[in-house]
Amino acid sequence: MKKSLIPTGVISLVVLGLVVAMFVLNTGVFAAQANGKKEITIHVIEHAVTDTIGDVPPKGDSLGDQLAFHNFVYDVADKKQVGHDNGNCVRTVTGKGTGVWECFWTVFLAGGQITVEGPYNDNGTDTTLAITGGTGAFKEARGQMILHDHFGDATQYDFIYEIEL
């Protein structure tokens, strides 16, 4: 009788261990800090009202054209201004609907600044840019930023910063 309880006890302990492991993984208990690093997400909405293109020869859409901007950014509800940005892009691939700009910019928020660098596809598809650094609360920021055309008409953009500090 005692021998038949041992396998049952072992199986029960294994199942209990698996249940605890799944609970910890699914509740994100360790997601906030990995390797002593803190992970945060910041989502702001840029109103692209100052975007200006500097045309370089040849006239029209050509390599080297410049896109400069400095716009306000708003909270995720798009109600309250929470900062502004400042940046520049260079045209690297031409063509309506297939064009690409290589960009870098800084967003200025109450806690500090976050700088990104990477592509912007003007065909409306999301792009991912690298977070290259920051200041203040973001002084050791690393990670990525998802750039999403909010309405699909290049008037507002979602900046979704996935930051590891």
Q: What is the CATH number of the domain that holds 97?
A: 2.40.480.10
pLDDT band at 130 (very low <50, low <70, confident <90, very high): very high
DSSP string covering 117-158 = EEEEETTS--EEEEEEEESGGGTT-EEEEEEEESSSSSSEEE
Does the pLDDT of residue 8 top 60, yes or no?
no
How far apart CA 101 and CA 36 sit, in angstroms, is 35
Structure tokens of 72? 């306000």
How far apart CA 101 and CA 112 sit, in angstroms, is 26
pTM summary value: 0.77
- Please, are residues 145 and 29 in contact by the beta-carbon 8 Å criterion? no
Domain ranges, residue 152: 33-164
Q: What is the mean pLDDT of the chain?
A: 85
Buried b (16+ CB within 10 A) or exposed e, 60-92: eeeeebebebbbbbbeeeeeeebbbbebebebe
- Please, are residues 154 and 130 in contact by the beta-carbon 8 Å criterion? no
Cβ contacts of 32 within 8 Å, gap of 6 or more: 38, 39
How far apart CA 26 and CA 86 sit, in angstroms, is 38
Please state which of the ranges 21-25, 105-109, 155-159 shows the lowest mean pLDDT: 21-25
- Claim to verify: residue 38 and residue 106 sit in the same structural domain: yes
Three-class secondary structure of residue 27 per DSSP: helix
Considering the chain, what percentage of its residues have pLDDT values greater than 90? 72
- Claim to verify: residue 67 and residue 143 sit in the same structural domain: yes
Tally of CB atoms within 10 A around 21: 10
- Claim to verify: residue 12 and residue 93 sit in the same structural domain: no
- Claim to verify: residue 126 and residue 136 sit in the same structural domain: yes
- Claim to verify: residue 104 and residue 77 sit in the same structural domain: yes
